[in-house]
């Protein structure tokens, strides 16, 4: 499984990450401020890793056995064990980069919407002492951050999401087959995708995940333009996933296009529940706090006595 740690420190990326952090944390803090607090049950503190001793560290956490073997002082670090381990799969294919050419469009572009949703979900998970990991993919896994629950884990996830560039084709089936053996037997998997994939059977692929005992939430994200097709005049449409451009009169095909999109949405809404998959369709003009609230309700339902 791919795991990368490179970081692009260009001014554009740093600015994007800073804005992403502000937006994500404000969304979550605003959401949680209206929630009733409840004690976190079933958690414990577990050893995570060693670090070199530095002045100010609690000497009770020095591992004296290691000192005896290496003559160096190492401190044990601990983190909260979790009720939930969640992997977030982010579709980073070219179609996710769609941005409306309509000047007065109020909807976010899909890339920014997906980045913010993933960052906010990650922050929300960590606030609840859950472990969160991130996997970005297009036709292959491009980045993998394993689930951890310590608060500082938000930073590498934020950096990964912030510097993700959306390009190439989508291969959901190939990605899941690459990941399946490394996924935990229990926990949650959240996929964020526009589902504009060349794969013929995304649902069977997702069923493979849920059959492992994982709770699967599928956030299906489309821009309103992709649902309504509100274009006029002779237009040349350019593919974001390497297909050749094509000239069309939008008025002539609008109804047929809208019917096809609605058929796709109905298909997922109808079949996902029977496969053990929670399907949530959202457009990028939908407030993100509504999407986060859906996740929060789902998580609570998992832990009802």
Whether 71 is covered by a domain: the verdict is yes
149 and 287 assigned to the same domain? yes
What range defines the domain where residue 100 resides?
11-34+81-302
**pTM here?**
0.78
CA distance 148 to 82: 9
Contact 87, 190 (CB under 8 A): yes
Q: Are residues 108 and 253 in the same domain?
A: yes
165 and 259 part of one domain: yes
Whether 230 and 256 share a structural domain: yes
Domain annotation covers residue 5: no
Q: 140 and 207 share a domain?
A: yes
Number of folded domains that form the chain = 2
Q: Does residue 125 sit within a domain?
A: yes
Same domain, 23 and 56: no
Whether 287 is covered by a domain: the verdict is yes
Both 101 and 76 in a single domain?
no
Residue 66 CB burial class (10 angstroms; 0-12, 13-18, ≥19) = middle
- Does 185 share its domain with 175? yes
> What CATH number does residue 201 fall under?
3.40.50.410
**Is 250 part of a structural domain of the chain?**
yes
Same domain, 243 and 160: yes
Angle between helix 288-302 and 11-33 (nearest 10): 60
Provide the H-helix boundaries in the chain: 11-33, 64-70, 110-127, 154-163, 172-179, 202-210, 224-228, 250-271, 288-302
Residues 51 and 27 in one domain: no
Q: Is residue 119 part of a domain?
A: yes
Nearest CA-CA partner of 134 in 122, 117, 120: 122
Q: Of 80, 99, 134, which one is at a domain's C-terminal end? A: 80
Same domain flag for 68 and 88: no
Q: 115 and 167: one domain?
A: yes
* Digitized pLDDT (tens) for each residue of the chain, 305 residues in all: 444 455 566 778 888 888 888 988 989 888 877 554 433 444 444 545 555 756 666 666 666 776 677 777 666 655 445 568 999 999 999 999 998 888 777 889 999 999 999 999 999 999 888 999 999 999 889 899 999 999 999 999 999 999 999 999 888 888 888 888 888 778 899 999 999 876 567 888 888 888 888 889 999 999 999 999 998 877 777 766 667 778 878 888 899 999 999 999 999 999 999 888 999 999 999 999 988 988 888 777 766 64
Q: Is residue 22 part of a domain?
A: yes
Q: How far apart are CA 196 and CA 241, in angstroms?
A: 10
Q: Is residue 40 part of a domain?
A: no
């Amino acid at each position: 499984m791919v795991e990368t740690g490179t970081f692009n420190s260009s001014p554009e990326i740093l600015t994007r990450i800073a804005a992403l952090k502000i937006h994500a944390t404000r969304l979550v803090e605003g959401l949680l401020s209206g929630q009733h607090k409840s004690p976190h049950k079933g958690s414990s503190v577990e050893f995570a890793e060693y670090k070199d001793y530095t002045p100010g560290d609690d000497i009770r956490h020095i591992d004296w056995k290691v000192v005896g073997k290496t003559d160096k002082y190492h401190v044990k670090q601990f983190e909260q064990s979790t009720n939930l381990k969640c992997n977030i799969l982010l579709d980073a294919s070219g179609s996710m980069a769609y941005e409306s050419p309509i000047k007065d469009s109020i909807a976010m572009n899909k890339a920014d919407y997906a980045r913010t949703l993933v960052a906010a979900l990650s922050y929300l998970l960590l606030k609840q002492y859950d472990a969160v990991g991130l996997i970005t993919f297009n036709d292959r896994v491009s980045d993998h951050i394993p689930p951890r629950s310590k608060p500082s884990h938000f930073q590498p996830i934020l950096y990964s999401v912030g510097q993700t560039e959306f390009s190439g084709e989508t291969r959901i089936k190939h990605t899941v087959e690459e990941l399946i053996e490394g996924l935990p037997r229990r926990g949650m998997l959240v996929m964020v995708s526009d589902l504009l994939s060349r794969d013929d059977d995304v649902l069977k692929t997702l069923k493979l995940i849920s059959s492992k005992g994982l709770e699967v939430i599928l956030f299906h994200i489309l821009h309103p333009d992709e649902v309504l097709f509100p274009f006029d005049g002779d237009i040349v449409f350019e593919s974001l996933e390497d297909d050749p451009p094509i000239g069309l009169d939008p008025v002539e095909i609008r109804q047929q296009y809208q019917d096809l999109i609605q058929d796709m949405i109905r298909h997922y809404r109808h079949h996902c529940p029977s496969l053990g998959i929670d399907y949530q369709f959202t457009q990028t003009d939908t407030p993100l706090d509504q999407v986060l609230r859906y996740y929060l309700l789902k998580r609570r339902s998992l832990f009802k006595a």
